[in-house]
């Protein structure tokens, strides 16, 4: 896919600010010749520079980059609470998607027959039916505890490549990043392991919903459906019905919260997920809502945070590259690092590619590259 910077948009943005190309180069910490080459179409900025260019000039990806519409990656974020997805975030993710394209030929043959949910809706009955069908396909009953290991096979079986990363718990905008390459019919799912165990399954289920509904990827209705599907899959109607019946008998908020806590602990999910599904069940059934409120549930949730997935997988942290990649391959059944290894040995790809395509520090990319090259 040939990508070029929309030079006219950049020049307009420079003129509006009274800047020269030299000033822009200084702000981006690149040479003046690099900027000249970008504007002539003789070069293209790396993802980190593209992100900085977008934020510096306050231009969105579509304004900044000219690329055939059919070749554009489709991106979706599972964001952290209270964060906002900006045009700069989207530009950076789109650049990562463009860089993933050369990796696709080094992946194994992906399945052509894939599960899809047509005409997806957040209607309660529709969601429960979709969740029930998914659980049946996984060999799980409606009241069984669903583990994230149950979901992993669904990604591999539907043309999605899981990329477990450690992006940090507090400083990163994303919990997960979904990049669909429409022409190649491949989806990359970046999952942040520096997240709490009780939330991790929800994010995986959320991303699985995106895999099942590719036509909704990158759209607000896609995010709404993914959230609703994840809740229904992890805590379906029979569980919500049982939790409601037990909690509602107690009447007082503190007693109800203890019931919800117990169900959340038994199913290794967030108390907020249990609370939401119980309320959705009550609304659909025409029953009274519980006495406890959102703010009380959030207070309990924030006061009882579990361990990080990365902490449960690796001790000590950070793990050496070999152990990290072995866990990615064996536990998440991903071919991502094997494909990288094939690419490195075939094309001599450097550590800089790993840094950009995984959005990780250069020193981490160098260590991974050394392991993959050995």
Mean pLDDT confidence for 88-112? 86
Of residues 76 and 315, which shows the higher confidence score?
A: 315
* Model confidence, pTM: 0.81
- What are 132-183's pLDDT values in tens digits? 999 999 999 999 999 888 899 899 889 899 999 999 875 554 578 899 998 8
- Residue among 288, 300, 289 at smallest CA distance from 254: 300
Residue 30 has pLDDT above 70, yes or no: yes
In this structure, the number of other CB atoms found within 10 A of the CB of residue 255 comes to 15
**Number of residues written out for the chain:** 374
Residue 82 has pLDDT above 60, yes or no: no
- Residue among 63, 50, 51 at smallest CA distance from 10: 63
Mean predicted lDDT score pLDDT of the chain: 89
pLDDT for 251: 81
Q: Is the Cβ–Cβ distance between 77 and 191 less than 8 Å?
A: no
pLDDT for 170: 57
pLDDT band (50, 70, 90) for residue 111: confident
- Residue 287, SS3 per DSSP: coil
Mean pLDDT confidence for 312-336? 94
- Residue among 77, 109, 104 at smallest CA distance from 90: 77
Q: Determine which of 272-276, 282-286, 305-309 has the lowest per-residue pLDDT on average.
A: 305-309
Half-sphere exposure of 294 (CA within 13 A, CB side): 1
Phi and psi of 180, rounded to 5°? Answer: -100, 130
DSSP letters for 70-98: GG--EEEEEEPTT----HHHHHHHHHHHH
pLDDT band (50, 70, 90) for residue 352: confident
| Termini Cα distance of the chain | 30
- What are 232-276's pLDDT values in tens digits? 999 999 999 999 999 999 989 999 999 999 999 999 899 999 999
SS3 content of the chain, % helix, strand, coil (to 5): 60, 10, 30
Distance CA 100, CA 228 (A): 29
pLDDT for 78: 59
Looking at the chain, the whole-number percentage of residues with pLDDT higher than 90 is 61
DSSP state of 196: B
In this structure, the number of other CB atoms found within 10 A of the CB of residue 143 comes to 12
Residues 6+ apart with CB under 8 A from 12: none
Task: Characterize the bridge pairing of strands 186-192 and 160-165.
Answer: parallel
Mean pLDDT confidence for 14-35? 93
Q: H-helix or E-strand containing 8?
A: helix 7-17
Q: H-helix or E-strand containing 337?
A: helix 336-347
- What are 70-81's pLDDT values in tens digits? 668 888 875 545
Q: For residue 316, is the peptide bond before it cis, meaning its omega torsion is within 30 degrees of 0? A: yes
Residue 346 has pLDDT above 70, yes or no: yes
């Amino acid at each position: 896919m040939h990508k070029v910077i929309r030079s006219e948009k950049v020049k307009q943005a420079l003129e509006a600010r009274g800047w020269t190309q030299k000033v822009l180069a200084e702000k981006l910490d690149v040479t003046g010749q690099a900027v000249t080459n970008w504007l002539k179409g003789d070069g293209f900025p790396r993802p980190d520079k593209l992100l900085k260019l977008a934020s510096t000039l306050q231009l969105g990806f579509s304004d900044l980059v000219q690329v055939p519409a059919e070749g554009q990656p489709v991106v979706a974020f599972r964001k952290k609470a209270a964060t906002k997805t900006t045009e700069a975030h989207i530009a950076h993710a789109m650049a990562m998607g463009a860089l993933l394209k050369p990796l696709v030929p080094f992946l194994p043959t992906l399945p052509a027959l894939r599960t899809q949910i047509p005409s997806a809706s957040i209607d309660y009955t529709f969601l429960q039916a979709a969740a029930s069908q998914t659980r049946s396909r996984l060999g799980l009953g409606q009241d069984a505890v669903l583990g994230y290991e149950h979901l992993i096979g669904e990604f591999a079986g539907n043309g999605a490549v899981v990329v477990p990363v450690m992006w940090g718990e507090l400083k990163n905008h994303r919990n997960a990043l979904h990049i669909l390459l429409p022409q190649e019919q491949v989806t990359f799912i970046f999952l942040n392991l520096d997240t709490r165990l009780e939330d991790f399954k929800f994010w995986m289920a959320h991303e699985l919903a995106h895999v099942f509904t590719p036509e909704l990827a990158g759209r607000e209705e896609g995010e709404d459906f993914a959230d609703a599907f994840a809740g229904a899959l992890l805590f379906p109607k029979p569980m919500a019905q049982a939790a409601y019946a037990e909690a509602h008998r107690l009447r007082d908020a503190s007693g109800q919260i203890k019931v919800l806590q117990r169900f959340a602990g038994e199913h290794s999910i967030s108390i907020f997920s249990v609370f939401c599904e119980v309320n959705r069940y009550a609304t659909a059934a025409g029953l009274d809502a519980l006495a406890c409120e959102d703010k009380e549930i959030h207070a309990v949730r924030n006061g009882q945070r579990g361990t990080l997935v990365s902490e449960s997988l690796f001790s000590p942290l950070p793990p050496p590259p070999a152990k990290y990649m072995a866990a990615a391959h064996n536990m998440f059944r991903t071919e991502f690092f094997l494909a990288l290894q094939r690419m490195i040995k075939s094309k001599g790809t450097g550590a800089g590619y790993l840094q950009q395509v995984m959005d990780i520090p250069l020193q981490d990319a160098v260590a991974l590259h050394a392991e993959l090259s050995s």
